[in-house]
Every structure is written in C-alpha cells, then in structure tokens.
C-alpha cells in the first residue's frame, strides 16, 4: 500500500512533496503506462479542486488518451486542436483561466471551467501532455505551471519507459 502524506500551505512546497512522492512511486519501474497511471492518481489525490487529471500520449503525431482520473474523456485529439492539442503543437504549457473563452476548447466534461496542460518531453521528444481540469474558473496559476513543469521534467524518464 502506498500512503503519501502530502500537505502544504504553499503551492511550491506542495509540488515539491508531490514530485518527491511521484519519484518514489515510479522508481525502478520501466512501464510508462503504469507510471503515468500512478502519477495521475497521485495528482488527483493531492491537488484540490480538480475534476480531471491525467495524460494524453503522443502516438504517431496524434494525442491518444492515457491513464487518468475523472470522467471518461475524448480518446483522440489532433495536434493544434483544443487546449491539449495546442500544448502539444507549441510545446508550451497552456494555462487557461476560462475554457469557455478558449477557441476550440474540447469539452470532455461540461463541468470543466479552467485547465492546465503541460507538454511532457524526454530528450527533446514529445511523449504527450499532462492535463489538469478544474470546475473552478482560474484554478491554476504560475505556481501550478511551474510545479507541473518541474514534475514532468523530473519524471520524464519514467514516462518514457526507460527508468
């Protein structure tokens, strides 16, 4: 049984603990899907006010649904489409305060109001994206972006399946 106690007053500390727990959870495991599944579960458990947390994988230049927590979601997203597709095409994190105002946003769960999508790269290759959705507008800020960017950078080998 894994029982990580993640609690912090500020987001930087929260993400530090989260990343540490994610590294411990995936240590020595070469299966990328298993690692994404456990990290999605960890994020879901530790981050408040989410309605979706998970991964889309880059499969031949298209985003395909990966391990996640939350409601069933759209399976395939072309690069450049929706928040996830824009993150994949631009290789830049997308922090969207109001998804209803984002052109081309893909509404997998009608409850979503804000979204953070971070590209996952390993050795310059795009493996996919990490996607967090919230039912609250403007749920994500610069500290969430920095925390998630750091987390996926530190874990990239585990998501590439070479750890």
Which pair of structure tokens corresponds to residue 85? 């597709």
Q: Please, what is the minimum distance in Å from the beta carbon of residue 132 to ligand SME?
A: 9
Binding residue for ligand SME (CB under 6 A) from 106, 145, 146, 160?
106
Binding residue for ligand SME (CB under 6 A) from 14, 21, 50, 52?
52
Pairing of strands 76-78, 62-70: antiparallel
Q: Please, what is the minimum distance in Å from the beta carbon of residue 8 to ligand SME?
A: 26
Q: Please, what is the minimum distance in Å from the beta carbon of residue 64 to ligand SME?
A: 12
Q: Is 122 helix (H, G, I), strand (E, B) or coil?
A: strand
| CB-nearer residue toward ligand SME: 74 or 146 | 74
3-state secondary structure 37-86: HHHHHHHHHHCCCCCEEEEEEEECCEEEEEEEEECCCCCEEECCCHHHHH
Q: CA 131, 132, 135, 137 torsion: positive or negative?
A: negative
Stretch 59-78 residues interacting with ligand SME (CB under 6 A):
73-74, 77
58 binds ligand SME (CB under 6 A): no
112 binds ligand SME (CB under 6 A): yes
144 binds ligand SME (CB under 6 A): no
Separation of CA 66 from chain center: 10
111 binds ligand SME (CB under 6 A): no
Q: Give the CB-nearest residue to ligand SME.
A: 82
CA nearest to 143, candidates 93, 70, 68 = 93
Q: Helix, strand, coil: what percent of the chain each, to 5?
A: 40, 25, 35
84 binds ligand SME (CB under 6 A): yes
Q: Please report, as ranges, the residues that interact with ligand SME according to CB under 6 A.
A: 52, 73-74, 77, 82-85, 105-106, 108, 112, 115, 131, 133
């Amino acid at each position: 049984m894994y029982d990580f106690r993640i609690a912090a007053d500020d987001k930087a500390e929260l993400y530090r603990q989260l990343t540490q727990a994610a590294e411990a959870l995936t240590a020595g495991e070469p299966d990328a899907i298993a690692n994404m599944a456990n990290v999605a579960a960890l994020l879901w458990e530790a981050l408040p006010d989410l309605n979706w947390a998970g991964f889309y994988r880059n499969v031949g230049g298209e985003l395909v649904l990966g391990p996640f927590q939350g409601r069933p979601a759209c399976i395939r997203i072309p690069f450049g489409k929706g928040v996830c597709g824009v993150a994949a095409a631009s290789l830049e994190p997308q922090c969207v305060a109001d998804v209803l105002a984002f052109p081309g946003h893909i509404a997998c769960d009608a409850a979503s109001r804000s979204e953070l999508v971070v590209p996952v790269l390993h050795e310059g290759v795009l493996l996919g994206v990490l996607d967090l959705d919230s039912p609250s507008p403007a749920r994500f800020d610069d500290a969430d972006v920095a925390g998630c960017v750091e987390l996926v950078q530190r874990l990239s080998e585990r998501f590439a399946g070479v750890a």
